């Protein structure tokens, strides 16, 4: 290096960020006596609510109750500051939807002191959170999740995003909400299929983080899946707190490292969602992804074969799919799953890192997965499916 090109100075500046998230578990959030929103948003603040169209259609009273609640509590611009946004993956697949939200923010003169309230499933929370994180470099947002999956998992996270160029969550930002309010009663209108789907995330986190919870799930999750409210509330809260705890204590909330512990069972799930063109929803794909990863873990002697089978059966008992024929699709005689593995690695960057259980409740990482191991795991899955009737379950699910 010549004298001229030597640095003339170098400084290391540490910037410490401390983020606080309030999480409230409640029922009937818009009942006049419910204080949850008031605890998070100061009275008189400017709010703009975006509501999942699926929730709005099945719960038409919600709009009235929300409007009344905002009026009674003197939040600014209540009536016109509400819009419905498309529920489900369509909001994440169409960039026009994000533009519409951005336009609303502009039309209503919202600024960094305003609050965007996203009420809906994981897809709506992801998309609204993304819009909130990019306009004015960040507007405060509050999540009110309305599906099991968003109440026990996605709503607790710090991630927001939309799908782009054919890839899931290709555009996005790490931007924690100011707070999350979980209203169990919002689940009353959720169709059975989505009600069950979120249960798979509870199994995922229990398998790698909490063996007591896993035991509880194997005994009780099927009751939750049949709409026993007490069991579902317990499942949601325990699962949500495990997610939160991980994000707060892992030392890597913004996932700079190669491992994503909360993604156990997810590498193949994302791929299955893509190649089945969302024939499987996220939670269903995760259930299958968990079954596959359990078999891989059993093959690697990280857990016993019996334990892998026990959990697979418990998932199946909840009415979740444990198999999809797309698992066996090949291109040029190579399992398509192998390209799913590659995309997963590309998305995260760094070396291949898959999280696996090492005994239930503990996790480890593997950095290599061959097509041979995958094929063995798939064969084993097929034999369990034959034994417990998972194929039947999948057919029933699709026919609804």
Q: Which residues bind ligand NAD (CB under 6 A)?
A: 52-55, 58, 87-89, 92, 120-124, 126, 146-147, 149-150, 153-154, 157, 159, 186-187, 189-190, 194, 197, 281-283
Which residues are registered as beta bridge partners of 160? 173
Q: Which is nearer to ligand NAD, 149 or 240 (CB)?
A: 149
Euclidean distance between CA atoms 138 and 131, whole angstroms: 8
366 token code pair = 């593997």
CB of 272 to ligand NAD, least distance (A): 12
Q: Which is nearer to ligand NAD, 120 or 289 (CB)?
A: 120
> Any idea of the CA torsion for 361, 173, 146, 32, to the nearest 10 degrees?
120
How many Cβ atoms sit within 10 Å of the Cβ of residue 239?
A: 28
Produce one character per residue of 88-114: b if its CB has 16 or more CB atoms within 10 Å, e if not: bbebbbeeebbebbeebbeebebeeeb
CB of 258 to ligand NAD, least distance (A): 18
CB of 264 to ligand NAD, least distance (A): 13
Q: Kindly state the helix (H) or strand (E) to which residue 169 belongs, with its residue range.
A: strand 167-174
CB of 74 to ligand NAD, least distance (A): 27
Q: Kindly state the helix (H) or strand (E) to which residue 144 belongs, with its residue range.
A: strand 140-145
Q: Which is nearer to ligand NAD, 26 or 108 (CB)?
A: 26
Q: Which is nearer to ligand NAD, 196 or 222 (CB)?
A: 196
CB of 330 to ligand NAD, least distance (A): 26
- With H, G, I as helix, E, B as strand and everything else as coil, classify residue 44: coil
Q: Which is nearer to ligand NAD, 176 or 390 (CB)?
A: 176
CB of 370 to ligand NAD, least distance (A): 28
Q: How far is CA 109 from CA 2, 70, 75, 114, in A?
A: 53, 18, 15, 9
Q: Which is nearer to ligand NAD, 284 or 313 (CB)?
A: 284
């Amino acid at each position: 290096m010549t004298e001229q090109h030597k640095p003339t100075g170098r400084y290391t500046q540490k910037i410490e960020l401390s983020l606080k998230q309030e999480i409230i578990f409640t029922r009937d959030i818009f009942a006049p006596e419910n204080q949850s929103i008031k605890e998070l948003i100061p009275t008189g603040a400017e709010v703009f609510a975006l509501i999942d169209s699926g929730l709005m259609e099945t719960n038409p009273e919600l709009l009235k109750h929300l409007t009344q609640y905002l009026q009674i509590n003197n939040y600014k611009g209540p009536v016109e500051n509400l819009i419905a946004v498309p529920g489900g993956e369509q909001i994440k697949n169409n960039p026009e939807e994000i533009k519409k939200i951005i336009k609303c923010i502009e039309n209503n003169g919202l600024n960094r002191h305003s609050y965007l309230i996203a009420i809906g499933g994981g897809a709506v929370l992801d998309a609204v959170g993304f819009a909130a994180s990019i306009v004015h470099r960040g507007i405060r947002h509050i999540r009110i999740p309305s599906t099991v999956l968003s109440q026990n998992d996605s709503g607790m996270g710090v991630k927001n995003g939309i799908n782009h160029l054919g890839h899931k969550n290709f555009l996005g930002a790490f931007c924690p909400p100011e707070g999350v309010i979980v209203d169990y009663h919002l689940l009353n209108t959720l169709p059975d299929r989505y009600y069950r789907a979120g249960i798979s995330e509870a199994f995922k986190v229990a398998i790698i983080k909490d063996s007591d919870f896993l035991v509880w799930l194997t005994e009780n999750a099927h009751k939750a899946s049949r709409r026993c409210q007490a069991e579902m509330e317990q499942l949601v809260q325990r699962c949500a707190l495990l997610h939160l705890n991980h994000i707060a204590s892992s030392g890597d909330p913004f996932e700079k490292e190669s491992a994503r512990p909360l993604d156990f069972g997810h590498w193949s799930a994302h791929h299955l969602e893509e190649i089945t063109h969302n024939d499987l929803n996220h939670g269903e794909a995760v259930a299958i992804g968990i079954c596959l990863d359990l078999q891989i873990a059993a093959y690697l002697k990280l857990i016993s074969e019996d334990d892998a089978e026990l959990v697979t059966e418990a998932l199946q008992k909840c009415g979740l799919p444990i198999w999809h024929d797309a698992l066996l699709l090949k291109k040029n005689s190579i399992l398509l799953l192998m390209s799913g593995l590659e995309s997963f690695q590309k998305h995260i960057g760094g070396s291949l890192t898959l999280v696996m259980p090492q005994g239930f409740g503990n996790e480890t990482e593997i950095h290599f997965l061959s097509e041979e191991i995958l094929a063995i795991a798939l064969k084993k899955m097929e034999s369990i499916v034959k034994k417990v009737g998972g194929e039947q379950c999948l057919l029933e699910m699709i026919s609804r």
